A = this chain, B = another copy of it.
Amino acid sequence: MDGAQTDEKLTAKQYKSDYRPVWCPGCGDFSVLSAITKAMAELQLKREDTAVISGIGCSSRIPAYTSVYGFHGVHGRALALATGVKLARPELTVIVTGGDGDGFSIGGNHFLHACRRNVDLTYVVMDNQVYGMTKGQASPTTASEWEGSKLTPHGTGVNPFQPLAVALAAGANFIGRQFSGDPNACAKLIAEAIQHPGFSFVQILSPCVTFRPEQREWKQTVHTAPVEPTSDPGRAGKRLMSDDGLNMGVLYVGGRPVFQPPEGTGATLADIEQKFTL
């Protein structure tokens, strides 16, 4: 971590730690890390007032590679952990990072409720349609016929999870998607998401070159969403239910109020104790 205690602008690099990622060469997550740090630089977030929270997985290693506060929690619970951080310390910028397994498999319930609760968090999921860290099992977003895992040798036989449609149905207010192959677009989307008040959800298609080498093809297949983002949930619902999974950009922005904890009344402990007195 460089010093930069002065008023100078921080560069994206200064949001990176000097710890070398454990990722495989070519992993999409390298670009996502860059995008996140670029977004931080873009917004000139104070490093000491920013926290990156994650669960477990290759993608969940992100916190250690940034120079802000971080918490590398347990598998699937990043959103709950982050909710606690943000509610206890509302002035912090809290970013949550993780994978499709961490977020949509074991963490699915917290995903639903974070969308609904609308605490001001930014959730960046590096979706590689596989469990990278545990060496290549199907995740919820894996296509049903993918036969690459010994656990599901004939494919999962299950329709892939639609994170954006579920996020919308669960009440998320900012929904976007990008491809790690375009780190600038990712940085822009993440910066927008951070600025959005309340919960924002960003899916980033981030290839796992080791267990899903065919994902290199995403470069060819992703495309900008053909329509403008909508703020009408009904319309968004229709679109996301028939989405091809490769539309890039901000896809929905709603106007729900941000979760507001109640204000204190300035009472003292003695005031509270009063109630027990005979």
Number of A residues, CB within 8 Å of B: 38
A72 sits at the interface (CB 8 A): no
- CB closest residue in chain B, given A108: B109
Contact residues in B for A116 (Cβ distance below 8 Å): 140, 158-159, 161
Please, which residue of chain B has its CB at the minimum distance from the CB of A161?
B116
The 6 closest A-B pairs by CB, nearest first: A237-B237, A237-B241, A109-B109, A169-B169, A165-B169, A108-B109
Using an 8 Å CB-CB cutoff, how does the interface string of A104-124 with B read, 1 for contact, 0 for none? Answer: 111111001100111000000
Closest to A235 in B: B238
Q: Nearest chain-B residue to A144 (Cβ)? A: B257
Pair B118/A165 contact, Cβ less than 8 Å: no
Query: Would you list which residues of chain A between 219 and 278 have a CB under 8 Å from chain B?
Result: 233-242, 256, 259-260, 262
Q: Which residue of B lies closest to A236 (CB)?
A: B241
Contact B159 A166 (CB under 8 A): no
26 A-B contacts, Cβ less than 8 Å apart? A104-B112, A105-B113, A106-B109, A109-B112, A116-B159, A118-B158, A118-B159, A158-B259, A161-B170, A162-B169, A162-B170, A162-B171, A165-B169, A166-B166, A168-B169, A169-B169, A169-B237, A169-B240, A169-B241, A234-B241, A235-B238, A236-B241, A237-B237, A237-B238, A237-B240, A238-B238
Q: B112, A108: Cβ atoms under 8 Å?
A: yes
Bound CA–CA A246/B237 (angstroms) = 19
- Roughly how many angstroms separate A234 CA and B237 CA in the complex, as a whole number? 7
Answer yes or no: A89 CB below 8 A from chain B CBs: no
Contacts from A to B (Cβ < 8 Å):
104-109, 112-113, 116-118, 140, 154, 157-159, 161-162, 165-166, 168-171, 233-242, 256, 259-260, 262
Chain B residues whose C-beta falls within 8 Å of the C-beta of A107 in the assembled complex: 109
Q: Which of chain B's residues have a CB closer than 8 A to the CB of A165?
A: 169, 237
State which of B159, B233, B235, B238 has its C-beta within 8 Å of the C-beta of A256.
B159
Looking at A106, A116, A117, A260, the one whose CB has the most chain B CB atoms below 10 A away is A116
Are B108 and A168 within 8 A (Cβ)?
A: no
Indicate if the CB atoms of B118 and A108 lie closer than 8 Å. Answer: no
Residues of B with C-beta under 8 A to A154: 262
- Measured CB to CB, the closest approach of chain B to A129, in angstroms, equals 14
Query: How many whole Å from A61's CB to the nearest CB in chain B?
Result: 23
Within 8 Å by CB of A171, from B159, B242, B262, lies B159
Cβ of A139 to closest chain B Cβ, rounded Å: 12
CA distance A235 to B106 in the complex (A): 30
Query: A159 — which chain B residues lie within 8 A by C-beta?
Result: 116, 118, 171, 256
